[in-house]
Amino acid sequence: MNIYSRLYIICITALLLPLVSTTATAQFRIGGQLVQRGEYRHGYGKLIEDSLSPSTFISQRLRLQGSYKLDHLNFYMSIQDIRTWGNTPQIKLSDGFLSVHEAWGEIKVGSSWSFKLGRQELNYDNARFLGNLDWALQGRAHDFALIKYERNSSALHFGAGYNQDGEALSGNTYMMANQYKNAIFARYEKKLSKMEISVLFWNNGLQYVAYDSTGSKITKKEVRYTQTYGIPTLKYKLSNTTFSSFAYYQTGKDIADNDVSAYDANFQISHLFKLNEINKQSLRLTAGIEIISGTDNNDTTKEKSSFSPMYGTNHAHNGYMDYFFVGGRHEKSVGLNDIYFRLRFDINANFFTSVDVHSFAANAAIYKSSKKLSGNLGNEIDFSFGFIINSAVSVQGGYSHYLSTETIEFLHKTINADKLQNWAYLMLIIRPDSDKKYIGLLQ
- Domain assignment of residue 186, yes or no: no
Residues facing residue 270 across a β-bridge: 242, 286
Would you say residue 184 has pLDDT above 60? Answer: yes
Tell me the pLDDT tens digit for each residue of 387-407.
999 999 999 999 999 999 999
Q: How far apart are CA 289 and CA 372, in angstroms?
A: 25
- Domain assignment of residue 5, yes or no: no
Would you say residue 14 has pLDDT above 90? Answer: no
Q: Return phi, psi of residue 97, to 5°.
A: -100, -5
pLDDT-derived band at 134, boundaries 50, 70, 90:
very high
Q: How far apart are CA 336 and CA 43, in angstroms?
A: 19
pLDDT-derived band at 13, boundaries 50, 70, 90:
very low
Tell me the pLDDT tens digit for each residue of 71-94.
899 999 999 999 999 999 999 888
Enclosing domain of residue 285: 25-90+105-163+212-430
Specify the pLDDT at position 215.
Answer: 83
The proportion of the chain whose per-residue pLDDT surpasses 90, expressed as a percent, equals 85
- Domain assignment of residue 170, yes or no: no
Specify the pLDDT at position 26.
Answer: 79
Q: Which residues contact 212 (CB under 8 A, 6 or more apart)?
A: 219
Closest CA relative to residue 190, chosen from 132, 125, 272: 125
Would you say residue 19 has pLDDT above 80? Answer: no
- Domain assignment of residue 394, yes or no: yes
Specify the pLDDT at position 173.
Answer: 92
Tell me the pLDDT tens digit for each residue of 206-264.
999 999 988 888 899 999 999 999 999 999 999 999 999 999 999 999 999 999 999 99
pLDDT-derived band at 11, boundaries 50, 70, 90:
very low
Q: How far apart are CA 173 and CA 137, in angstroms?
A: 30
Q: What rounded mean pLDDT belongs to the chain? A: 92
- Give first-to-last CA distance, the chain, whole Å: 69
Would you say residue 22 has pLDDT above 50? Answer: no
- Domain assignment of residue 342, yes or no: yes
Specify the pLDDT at position 370.
Answer: 85
- Domain assignment of residue 11, yes or no: no
Q: Which CATH number characterizes residue 125's domain?
A: 2.40.160.100
- Domain assignment of residue 263, yes or no: yes
Q: Is 166 left (phi over 0), alpha (psi -120 to 50) or beta?
A: left
Tell me the pLDDT tens digit for each residue of 258-296.
999 999 999 999 999 999 999 999 999 999 999 999 999
Specify the pLDDT at position 4.
Answer: 41
Would you say residue 101 has pLDDT above 80? Answer: yes
Tally of domains within the chain = 1
- Domain assignment of residue 114, yes or no: yes
Cβ atoms within 10 A of the Cβ of 441, count?
A: 19
Specify the pLDDT at position 7.
Answer: 39
Specify the pLDDT at position 192.
Answer: 92
pLDDT-derived band at 299, boundaries 50, 70, 90:
confident
Specify the pLDDT at position 1.
Answer: 52
Whole-Å CA distances, 438 to 275, 307, 396, 397: 23, 28, 7, 10
